[in-house]
Structure 1
Amino acid sequence: ITMPLEDDLASAAATGNTDRVKMLLERGMDVNGVNCFGRTPLQVMMMGSTTVARLLLQQGADPNVADRHTGTMPLHDAARMGFLDTVKILVQYNANPNTLDNWNRRPIDLAKESGHQNVVEFLQTL
């Protein structure tokens, strides 16, 4: 069974496969195209993979796309999981640090809840 190319790009991003992400983008894949679950590659990317994050963002990925079910954005996910380097890259590419999810939580709130003090300290400087 072959999957749609949008799913292929999202899958490559989710597994942190930088080379495959790069190759699919070079073939003209839409960096903001959604997979079968309605999520963009940036939304499903392996949060600890700064190379994938930077590559997607350099190619025009929108860091402020909200999950249609939770309202969370990639910055919420990276902050909740404590990936400071990914948080910094998302902010560098204009991710909104004050955006609210469906429970009125900002990324900094999720970092606090999860005990990621380094992320909290960084987000406090914005």
Structure 2
Amino acid sequence: MEPSADGLARAAAQGREQEVRALLEAGVSPNAPNCFGRTPIQVMMMGNTQVARLLLLYGAEPNCEDPATLSRPVHDAAREGFLETLAILHQAGARLDVLDARGRLPVDLALERGHCDVVQYLRAAGNTPQGSEPAGVTSAQTPPEVSDFADHPLGPY
């Protein structure tokens, strides 16, 4: 464990953007695990898009999985309804077609919590398990813009 990793993870978890920036600029790795084995992007304050952007800009891995739950940052963002953070993670390469330890996709978590805007984004992004995409949907497809879903009601499930 890197000595500054705990500090970066703590700053990310508390949404302290300036401290996150300073630690990253000082060379702290955005992928170094803290004393609990979690990286800053796994523990970041999900609603703080600036912290998410900073971590990703400095090379944070958007697809890191929790060893116990197999959840990834996109699972957390979808479950809590943070559409902008989810979109930032997705645009940085986060996969939306991965299952957590309980066999749930990010869209399943958003549905469980009633986050209709997140569900709509995930469905428009082609959120299907790997290898079962409908014809014409590829991982290289441009993700939808968050603004495309801000004022549109979600159709029937």
TM-score by length of 1: 0.96
In the TM superposition, residue 32 of structure 1 has moved relative to its aligned partner by 0.2
Q: Deviations over 1:29-85 (max 9, x none)?
A: 011000011000000000000000011011110010000110000000000000000
**Structure 1 Cα separation of the partners of residues 55 and 82 of structure 2:** 17
Runs of 4+ residues deviating >6 angstroms: none
Q: In structure 2, what is the equivalent of residue 109 of structure 1?
A: 108
> Partner letter of residue 25 of structure 1?
L
> For 1:48-87, what aligned pairs fall within 5 Å after superposition?
48-87=47-86
> How far did residue 111 of structure 1 move?
0.3
Q: Distance in 2 between matches of 1:114 and 1:37?
A: 27
Q: Give the counterpart letter for 1:80 in structure 2.
A: R
Question: Shift of the alpha carbon at 1:104?
Answer: 1.0
What SS does the corresponding residue of 2:104 show, helix, strand or coil? coil
Please say which structure displays the higher CA radius of gyration: 2
- 1:60 & 1:106 partners in 2: Cα distance? 24
Runs of at least 5 residues in structure 2 that lack an aligned partner in the other structure: 126-157
Bigger RCO (CA 8 Å, 6+ sep): 1
Q: Which residue of 2 aligns with 1:45?
A: 44
**Which structure has the highest helix share of the two?**
1
Q: Percent identity?
A: 54
Aligned match of 1:97? 96
Return the alpha-carbon distance in structure 1 between the equivalents of residues 5 and 70 of structure 2.
Answer: 21
Counterpart Cα distance in 1 of 2:82 and 2:58: 21
Q: Calculate the aligned-residue CA RMSD, in Å.
A: 1.0
Q: Which SS does the other structure have where 1:78 is aligned?
A: helix
